[in-house]
Structure 1
Amino acid sequence: MSESTRIVWLDGRLWDASKVGLSLWNHSLHYGFGVFEGLRVYARPDGPHVFRLADHVRRLYRSAEHIGLEIPFDPETVTAAHAQVLAANGITEGYLRPIAYLGDGLAGLTDTGVPVHLAVLAWPWRPPATQPTGISLTVSPIRKPSGEAFPLQAKATGSYLASKIAYLRARRLGFDDAVLLDAHGMVSETTAQNLFAVVDGRLLTPPAESCLPGITRATVIDLARHAGITVAAEELPPGRLGDADEVFLTSTAGEVRPVGRIDDHVLGDEGRPGPVTRLLATAYRELVTGSHARPTEEPIHV
């Protein structure tokens, strides 16, 4: 455990991270039953700001409701916990990870009597250095589960097994990440990021029903429309990605990340970020750092 992440928030108070352990009888460890979030805190001239904290906390509760998990703390307490753990660790620019999970109890799939825990972790984080070309993707044979089999709107721990398998396979093949298709064979997202494609002057993204509706995704859609770009959520066959003028990914950790190659197809000008990608990456960065935040998108001060 690094010195900068020595303190975590767990079940209502701050703890020394080295004193917090996970039992081998932990229910969520065995069954993947839990929900979590990922948030960024940005150092700004007037102090650290967590971007869209309220939205992330709301989604944490929605995710828990989707899988039938009852969080034993109110949203106000959870919101305050983020500021507490940042202050305790002295982090002004970094990443936050609240996670709700079950404690000990392995009597089959029943969770009767098994306690629910909530933790908030934080660690330093800065975006990777800008590269001249975008990342490489491969279309994975691993698919997202059907919405009838799993609540795709939930950011749940168990839902990332398919992503993990697809990511490891892509890395073994020499790619940076993988495109996951939905149950109908349409583009869903990558292993942990939403996907956008610029086609014939329009900005396209898979519908929210087939992927996790990311908060960064929603922000970028708003920024694009504000810039006069036509945005449409529609089904994307994987073959259409190769015909796109630009492709980029969005996530809390990666912000706006350009894609330079999909399988054997190099995008744009030798894989370099295109004009729409560059415009939205700059607009997003200005928004989260406060250098050009609009009042409706003002990050929440901690």
Structure 2
Amino acid sequence: MIDDMEDDAHGVHDYVADPRNADVLISVNGEMKRRNEAVVSVFDSGYILGDGVWEGMRVSNGGVAFLPEHFKRLYAGAKTIDMDIGLTKDELTARLMDCLKANGMTDGVHIRLMVTRGIKKTPYQGPRFTIGKATIVIIPEYKTPVPEIVAKGVTLFTVHVRRTGPAEQDQKLNSHSKLNCIMACIQADKAGADEALMLDPQGFVATCNSTHFFIVRDGEVWTSPPEYCLGGITRGNIMRVCREAGIPVFEKRFSLFDVYSADEAFITGTFAGLTPVREVDGRSIDHVGGPVSQRISTLYKQLATNSLTPIS
């Protein structure tokens, strides 16, 4: 079943099938459960309402990359929705490390850490109907991006689903409620693309449904302003390595006009790092994995290696 599901995937989140995932141990509120035994209640806030926050993290070379940055975003999100995680950052780190050690995992692993408000005494959105503590689930899996996808680049399709502003749902909040992104993903799938390119309410480029979007024009790297996209850890570190290396990088508004005539384009995310884009809305990008993208990717990998929190 697991291999069948993996074979159906496509795009930047596709991964090389690994039989070890069938026996992976998952942490459910601190208890290690086999994959088919790792369950939560039908009264859990995450299941009923999508009420929670989460993080995706990478494990490589014996450590977790950018762990402090991920936890800073996780706890900021929890505070925004007035949810008590119930553990300090040090306690949650220890639980995460315990899960990785129980699985003997040190490299090539992707982690999904999810926190929901907890069990409801009845299906209703009000937090006052929550009983007990937050539900904390840690799913580590062996996941390596498919090399062919990274080599050839991905295709994007501009969807009609827009990214909302803070007045609707602040896009900085990495919440379980991702229906707008799911709708965008569905439209891109139906169009035969790997990922959806989403615009802001004014029609400027915002981000993708599950990754961040960059273009390169005349040696400059452009990405959208932060108002309509998640505060991506990889996104921020891509801009950091550009600045440190003297590569001009700008957060600015730009339109599809600028995208279609870009020299290079790429998307970024925790899972695959930097992945080149080869086509947007049927328009070919001139240089797939061009020199600027390649240099940035190398610099980012070096930074990620230097940012590891050792598994201990």
**What is the TM-score of this pair, normalised by structure 1?**
0.89
- 1:208-230 per-residue CA deviation (whole Å, 9 max, x = no partner) reads 12200111111111111222101
Instruction: Check whether the contact 1:140–1:166 (CA below 8 A) recurs between aligned residues.
Output: yes
Question: Which structure 2 residues correspond to residues 182-197 of structure 1 after superposition, within 5 A?
Answer: 182-197=200-215
State the distance in 2 between where 1:236 and 1:224 align.
Answer: 19
Q: Which residue of 1 aligns with 2:114?
A: 99
Matching residue within 139, 149, 152 for 2:168: 149
State the distance in 2 between where 1:231 and 1:40 align.
Answer: 25
Shift of 1:113: 4.2
Shift of 1:184: 2.4
Matching residue within 124, 127, 133 for 2:152: 133
- Identity over aligned pairs, percent: 25
Instruction: Check whether the contact 1:27–1:105 (CA below 8 A) recurs between aligned residues.
Output: no
State the distance in 2 between where 1:264 and 1:12 align.
Answer: 47
Shift of 1:22: 2.6
Shift of 1:9: 2.0
Q: For the aligned residues, what is the CA RMSD?
A: 1.8
Instruction: Check whether the contact 1:138–1:178 (CA below 8 A) recurs between aligned residues.
Output: yes
Can you give the 5+ residue segments of structure 2 that lack an aligned partner in the other structure?
3-18
**What is the TM-score of this pair, normalised by structure 2?**
0.86
Structure 1 stretch 33-42 or stretch 6-15: which is displaced more? Answer: 6-15
Aligned length: 288
Structure 1 stretch 83-92 or stretch 20-29: which is displaced more? Answer: 20-29
Confirm or deny that 1:212 pairs with 2:230.
yes
Matching residue within 79, 99, 104 for 1:85: 99
- AA paired with 2:253? E
State the distance in 2 between where 1:3 and 1:267 align.
Answer: 37
Matching residue within 77, 86, 111 for 1:72: 86
- 1:241-265 per-residue CA deviation (whole Å, 9 max, x = no partner) reads 1121111111001200100110121
- AA paired with 2:246? G
Instruction: Check whether the contact 1:39–1:96 (CA below 8 A) recurs between aligned residues.
Output: yes
- 1:87-115 per-residue CA deviation (whole Å, 9 max, x = no partner) reads 11122220111111122333422121413
CA shift in 2, pair 1:164/1:273, >3 Å? same
State the distance in 2 between where 1:70 and 1:203 align.
Answer: 39
State the distance in 2 between where 1:192 and 1:107 align.
Answer: 29
Question: Which structure 2 residues correspond to residues 141-290 of structure 1 after superposition, within 5 A?
Answer: 141-158=160-177, 160-269=178-287, 272-288=288-304, 290=305
State the distance in 2 between where 1:252 and 1:180 align.
Answer: 19
Q: Which residue of 2 aligns with 1:109?
A: 125
Instruction: Check whether the contact 1:206–1:235 (CA below 8 A) recurs between aligned residues.
Output: yes
What's the secondary structure of 1:78's corresponding residue?
helix
Can you give the 5+ residue segments of structure 1 that lack an aligned partner in the other structure?
none
What's the secondary structure of 2:121's corresponding residue?
coil
